[in-house]
Amino acid sequence: KLRKKVGFPAESRQALRLGRPCLLRPVDYASKNQIKVDLVDENFTELRGEIAGPPDTPYEGGRYQLEIKIPETYPFNPPKVRFITKIWHPNISSVTGAICLDILKDQWAAAMTLRTVLLSLQALLAAAEPDDPQDAVVANQYKQNPEMFKQTARLWAHVYAGAPVSSPEYTKKIENLCAMGFDRNAVIVALSSKSWDVETATELLLSN
């Protein structure tokens, strides 16, 4: 069970590398960068992160939960991080939440902290790298139809991350397909991946 706003024992070897004082104490969500981390278990092997969608992006107003797993070899190897909150982004899997980010792979350095990771993820939301995608369908939309990508990402932010702004046109298409008995999440994925064409999205839903 998630234990929120937990104080971390100073004697923990791993805790010393998590970014004290910025992340080892609870971070006020109203703070400048709007990032925080909570303890999940007593062994510091699993944490729950949260970042705010950056301003002037389709993710603005959303709050994104992250699963953070700390390996035994930390800080010499990076933490394993994935998005729990669903998100429409070229470098994050819309299915699994897996992240394509160099500092979580071969560009990790032992001097980095979880604060570095969370701020880097915020920066990634503001500046996608579509030529090095984690989700090829999203990346293709990003490059081929930037406005549709923005509207789709904004809708996902509204539906899954609590952002206040969404597209009435897209929402109506979702409701129409849901009225046919399809699962809402499946409808959102189908419409998003089929450029919001109801006919091809319906074919995809029927084939699954």
Indicate the pairing of strand 63-69 with strand 35-39: unpaired
Structure tokens at 155: 């809708």
Taking the CA atoms of residue 190, residue 192, residue 193 and residue 196 in that order, the dihedral angle to the nearest 10 degrees is 90
Q: How far apart are alpha carbons 34 and 160 in whole angstroms?
A: 18
Total Cβ atoms within 10 A of residue 61: 17
Q: Is 52 exposed, middle or buried (0-12, 13-18, 19+ CB in 10 A)?
A: buried
Q: How far apart are alpha carbons 124 and 90 in whole angstroms?
A: 10
77, 104 contact by CB (below 8 A): no
Asked if 100 is an active-site residue, the reply is yes
Among 27, 40, 52, 100, the one annotated catalytic: 100
Q: What are phi and psi of 179, to 5 degrees?
A: -65, -20
Side chain identity, residue 13: R
150, 85 contact by CB (below 8 A): no
Task: Give the DSSP H or E segment for 17.
Answer: none
Catalytic residues: 100
